[in-house]
A and B are shown apart, each in its own frame.
Chain A
Amino acid sequence: MRPITPALQTARAAASPARRRRSGFVFVELCRALLQSGRWWLIPFVAVLALSAALLAAVAAVEYVAPFVYTIF
């Protein structure tokens, strides 16, 4: 017994063409955000956080260890 749903419509192209967005690393976007808000002095700290995240990502790549870094990553 499932909820009432109408029949699937024929898929159509999206009405507005989607622009190809620049792929930006999130830390780069974060630095841009801090520049915009005037808190540029936080950028070095963000760099430290980015390094920490990268280090933990490398550790998490070892699958059998993954559960042990689950909450880190």
Chain B
Amino acid sequence: MIATEGLSRVFLRAVAPVVWRGAAPVAARLEGFAATEAGSALDMLKAAELAEDPLLRRLFFRHAMDEARHARMFREAARALAEGGAPAANEYQLIHARRQNLFAWLPLTEFLAFVHLAERRGELQFQVLQRHFQHEPGLERLFARIAKDERFHVTYSGRWLEARRREGGAGEVRAALLKVRARRAWESWRRAGRVLGDLTSRVLLGALYLVVLPLFVLLARAADRPARGWQKRRGLEANLDAARRLF
């Protein structure tokens, strides 16, 4: 775990100077963070709504308010960076949240494992960015503030998981953490697959279009007459047999 985090930190520090340079790209990435935080806010608010335990409700609610505040902070920072200030039209564009609604379909332990790992990743990333932007006070303060909140989220979720371990759920917690990591890896694999699959399907079906369709185009031009004006359809049936058909 520590070795993995250490490697992640090294990797993030290495790529930061490449990825986080230039006002426009930085502003775009801050907008992306805003969307992620806004989605997380809605997810945590839903979790607060559905949770039965009053303490968890309060913690999820506080988490949700934190994320909503982070979304606004990232958005304001992005606007400040955008060239010449935000164009008027952008005032009407609120943050598009990316929402997953995990609480509805994950068991509680797995949900908290997800929150714990996601917040740890976030905290790590924001600490690295705080250091990267140490010469830009505004951004440095932004990431410092948000990393501090992420630390709270890591702490409360970690404490809950620890309490669960002490109650005899050590295996459950370990399995939950593994499942969350595995799911993340599988999703990355699927994303890559989707990109390649999309390309493959376009090539194959494009070939079909160019090679096979022309014959049928000729047939269509001979046999098919586009309809103009009012059409009357006779013999329409209103019975169960007709309703079972897909046409």
Contact = CB atoms under 8 A, between A and B. Distances in A.
Do any CB atoms of chain A lie under 8 A from CB atoms of chain B in the complex?
yes
Interface of A: 1-2, 19, 21, 26, 29-30, 32-33, 36-37, 39, 41-42, 44-45, 48, 52, 65-72
Contacts of A33: 245-247
B243 to A, nearest CB: 11
Contacts of B197: 67-72
B198 interface: yes
Given A67-B193, A72-B201, 16 more contacts: A1-B49, A26-B246, A39-B223, A39-B224, A41-B216, A42-B216, A45-B213, A52-B208, A68-B196, A68-B197, A69-B193, A69-B197, A69-B200, A70-B190, A70-B193, A71-B201
Interface of B: 49-50, 189-190, 192-194, 196-198, 200-201, 204-205, 208, 212-213, 216, 219-220, 223-224, 240, 244-247
Given A1-B49, A70-B197, A41 B223 contact: yes
Nearest to B211: A48
Contacts of A44: 216
B57 to A, nearest CB: 9
Contacts, number: 64
Contacts of A30: 247
Q: Which 7 A-B pairs have the closest CB atoms?
A: A67-B193, A33-B247, A72-B201, A68-B193, A67-B190, A68-B197, A41-B219
Contacts of A69: 193, 197, 200-201
A58 to B, nearest CB: 14
Contacts of A1: 49-50
A72 B216 contact: no
23 contacts: A1-B50, A2-B50, A26-B246, A29-B246, A29-B247, A32-B247, A33-B246, A37-B247, A45-B213, A48-B208, A48-B212, A52-B204, A52-B205, A52-B208, A65-B193, A67-B193, A68-B193, A69-B200, A69-B201, A70-B193, A70-B197, A71-B201, A72-B200
Contacts of B50: 1-2
Given A41-B220, A72-B200, A72-B201, A66 B208 contact: no
